[in-house]
Amino acid sequence: MRNDSRLSRMLHVLLHMAQHNKPMTSEEIARMLGTNPVVVRRTMAGLRDEGFVRSEKGHGGGWVLATDLKEVSLLDVHRAVGGPRIFAIGSERPSPDCAVERVVNEALGDALREAETLLIARLDAVNLADLAQRFELRCDAGP
Amino acid sequence: MRNDSRLSRMLHVLLHMAQHNKPMTSEEIARMLGTNPVVVRRTMAGLRDEGFVRSEKGHGGGWVLATDLKEVSLLDVHRAVGGPRIFAIGSERPSPDCAVERVVNEALGDALREAETLLIARLDAVNLADLAQRFELRCDAGP
DNA sequence: AGTTACGCTACTTATTATGTTACAAGAATA
DNA sequence: TATTCTTGTAACATAATAAGTAGCGTAACT
């Protein structure tokens, strides 16, 4: 399967929404992401459930931010889109009968757990306002 | 898709091979892993190409270790089985036209890269002899 | 009423490790 | 030499899951 790009996509969308003072329709967002409005609604539903965005039906409806960018970390978004599994490698059998296998899985599990802990900490340390600021700096500095 | 379990499986097999002073057939190994001999041959082919094991055809044939356990790190095995992709999340578009998207992907890429670097370092720091020793200690200590 | 837009269900597609079948070829044994 | 055991490999099937698609319902604005 391809990589899960929900986190990346939603971060992208949320930053654009912050610069866009009107509701954005799923249609617009889908065009931006190169995908389909249904995929957008499906993925954004998680953000809505967490209160990060609101959706309005009808004329002039669409998606709007419901939180300050400072209040939302990358980790929050990761979790809001389902907190999908992070690693593509690992063991399928957590506590096998074979003692050798248990030793292997523990060693591997430890290494993966450490890496996951670091990643989570990094995602937790950055919020959407940080990213917006990086974007501003980038623009001021030119290409 | 399920997690890629090739690394975990091959570590399991290599440790068993070290305790088994005769060649192990793909059939035996497959039974051990709960899979199929063809899957075993396919996966072990990478280890053979790296010189970690040898395979012999015919009567009394099978797979034997070709290296001292101390010489093989978990990272070596990871790479020998194809060095599959580590993360299940991330962006599909490395350098998009949209500057916002680039900022997002860089931030996310940085976090993932850090986690990957840590994982690689951990895998590099442990070799098969270390795992074999942990197994021995476990057995001596009882359950 | 009509149009716009989200909400949701059900189905299809794409990708990739894994599983399976079939057959070729090499090596030991009788 | 014939038989049997075992690897090597190609080709195809399966499973899991994110993503893509179609259709219809429902709410809101004009």
Residue A92: predicted pLDDT: 82
* Strand D contact at CB of residue B37, distance < 7 A: yes
d(CA A71, CA A45): 18
CB–CB contact A112 B118 (8 Å) = no
pLDDT digits (tens, 9 = 90+) for B77-115: 999 999 899 999 999 887 788 999 999 999 999 999 999
Confidence band of B1 (pLDDT split at 50, 70, 90): low
Residue A104: predicted pLDDT: 97
Tell me which chain A residue has its CA closest to the CA of residue B10.
Answer: A104
DSSP string across A45-112:
HHHHHTTSEEEE-STT-EEEE-S-GGG-BHHHHHHHTT----BSBS-S-SS-S-HHHHHHHHHHHHHH
Are the C-beta atoms of B123 and B86 separated by less than 8 Å? no
Average confidence (pLDDT) over A89-111: 92
CA atoms within 13 A on the CB side of B3: 20
Q: Which of B8, B89, B102 is opposite residue A104, by nearest beta carbon? A: B8
Name the residue with tokens 């074979």: A98
Confidence band of A141 (pLDDT split at 50, 70, 90): low
Residue ranges of domains in chain B, CATH in brackets: 6-141 (1.10.10.10)
Tell me which chain A residue has its CA closest to the CA of residue B1.
Answer: A1
B contact residues 81-140, partner A, Cβ 8 Å cutoff: 84-92, 98-108, 110-112, 114-116, 118-119, 122-123, 126, 130-131, 134-135, 138-139
Q: Is the pTM of this model over 0.95?
A: no
Name the residue with tokens 């899957």: B39
- For the ranges A59-63, A113-117, A136-140, B65-69, the lowest mean pLDDT is seen at A136-140
CB–CB contact A87 B86 (8 Å) = yes
The gap between B93 CA and D19 C1' (Å) is 15
